[in-house]
């Protein structure tokens, strides 16, 4: 069986880019707790991908990006065992204490959801990805391949009340400014007449 | 008369944010050549803003952001002397050898353009901003206040032919990957069957 770290670093369909991404990505492996990912982008696959995944696996990847960013996740391949409400094999995405997605199968059905072309976003700068396979599968399934990337949160658009006069977004944050004749209060938000 | 460096660092309507931005912004002042700006965001104003600008000024600010970014510019204040085709006082934006904007006045007319709410983008990771006032103005004009910010270029959206199979954007760049059974060619773009 491959440990979670070797699974993360495992083969890719086109392996070369990993060398480049390794220049930025900082990967801390903790066997037992799961895998910590702090790069601005990367790829996660089921163990042995694109070969079928083994039974009885539970792996959690925790992606953490800098404050002021959110994590975008999308799938280029997904085929997990289908079960009622994805109770057997599944992939879960969690952020800020909320279940963002609970996925299984290959195509969505009435009660089960497969990702298809859906793009998923974290609710803050952190997302956990949990893959689980149960003790038995009658058929073989090839698992999943997903890519994640940090995106800037435009605080000026997501919260229009964030500044009294002018809001200026930048990658990783924002700041406020005031019209001529006004000073920015020490709260960095309110404008007061000079 | 204030030199271009003191103008850049000059008073703000709400001055506090400048201390924070100074943590990231790297400002190299060259009196004579103009002002070099390499921060990821910032503010540029006419000399003495919000007071009227002096006559006979020519100042160029050169904004350079990291590769894979473009520069977004927008105005929070603009009032320059109006002249036919903005020949007397003006603000020019140039990028990649192209004139992105040539602005004067307060409101746009048939042959002269004022920025209003228009947002301007650089054509690569560099933009020059040139302010010019001529030797005489019959009235006083308060000049301009603009803000700039580096934005990620999504190469996957701006060039859909950039990757053979999958394109993955990240802040500052992109990379390609292939479907299972294919390898990424050494050109980092083409996928070939294994």
Least confident of A14-18, A62-66, A98-102: A14-18
Minimal CA–CA distance to B180: which of A54, A50, A11? A50
pLDDT over threshold 60, residue A178: yes
Q: Is residue B48 within 8 Å of residue B11, measured between CB atoms?
A: no
Give B180's contacts in chain A (Cβ within 8 Å): 13, 49-50, 77, 142, 145
Tell me the two tokens of residue A105.
């199968």
Q: Cα–Cα distances in Å, from B24 out to A173, B19, B20, B37, B60?
A: 12, 10, 8, 11, 21
Q: In what order do the strands lie in the sheet with B90-95?
A: B27-30, B34-37, B57-64, B126-133, B90-95, B98-103
Cβ atoms < 10 Å from Cβ of B139: 7
A vs B: CB pairs below 8 A: 113
Q: Which residue has the higher pLDDT, A104 or A18?
A: A104
Domains of chain A (ranges, CATH numbers)? 5-152 (2.60.120.290), 155-193 (2.10.25.10)
Minimal CA–CA distance to B88: which of B56, B49, B114? B56
Alpha-carbon distance of B37 to B7, in angstroms, equals: 13
What digits encode the pLDDT tens for the residues A121-164?
999 999 999 999 999 877 899 999 999 999 999 999 988 899 99
Minimum-distance CB partner of B184 among A16, A168, A181: A16
pLDDT over threshold 90, residue A113: yes
* Cβ contact B17–A147 (<8 Å): no
Give B77's contacts in chain A (Cβ within 8 Å): 179-180
Q: Cα–Cα distances in Å, from A102 out to A33, A54, A87, A115, A128?
A: 21, 20, 9, 9, 12
Tell me the two tokens of residue B4.
């271009």
What is the reported pLDDT for A136? 83
Mutate to test the interface with B, among A11, A14, A43, A156 (most CBs of B within 10 A): A14
Distance from CA of A190 to the nearest CA of B (A): 10
pLDDT over threshold 70, residue A4: no
Cβ atoms < 10 Å from Cβ of B140: 12
* Cβ contact B180–A43 (<8 Å): no
Looking only at the bridges linking them, the beta strands covering A173-177 and A126-133 are unpaired
Place of tokens 């070099």: B36
What digits encode the pLDDT tens for the residues A24-80?
444 444 445 599 999 999 999 999 999 999 999 999 999 999 999 999 999 999 999
Minimum-distance CB partner of B147 among A20, A150, A168: A168
Mutate to test the interface with A, among B13, B181, B182 (most CBs of A within 10 A): B13
pLDDT over threshold 60, residue A10: no
Residues of chain B with pLDDT under 50: 1-31
Alpha-carbon distance of B134 to B14, in angstroms, equals: 29
What is the reported pLDDT for B116? 94
Mean pLDDT computed over A106-120: 94
Distance from CA of A76 to the nearest CA of B (A): 8
Tell me the two tokens of residue B122.
């650089």
């Amino acid at each position: 069986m491959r440990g979670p770290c070797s699974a993360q670093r495992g083969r890719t369909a086109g392996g070369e880019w990993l060398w480049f991404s390794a220049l930025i990505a900082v990967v801390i492996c903790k066997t037992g707790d799961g895998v910590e990912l702090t790069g601005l982008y990367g790829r996660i696959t089921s163990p042995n991908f694109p070969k079928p995944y083994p039974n009885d696996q539970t792996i959690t990847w925790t992606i953490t990006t800098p404050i002021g960013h959110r994590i975008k996740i999308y799938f280029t391949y997904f085929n997990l065992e289908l079960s009622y409400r994805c109770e057997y094999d599944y992939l879960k995405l969690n952020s800020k204490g909320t279940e963002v997605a609970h996925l299984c199968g290959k195509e969505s059905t009435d009660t089960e959801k497969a990702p298809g072309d859906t793009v998923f976003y974290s609710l803050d700068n952190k997302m956990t990805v949990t893959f689980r396979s149960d003790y038995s599968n009658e058929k073989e399934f090839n698992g999943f391949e997903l890519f994640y990337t940090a995106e800037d949160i435009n605080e000026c658009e997501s919260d229009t009340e964030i500044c009294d006069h002018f809001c200026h977004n930048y990658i990783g944050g924002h700041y406020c400014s005031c019209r001529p004749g006004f000073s920015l209060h020490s709260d960095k938000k309110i404008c007061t007449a000079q």
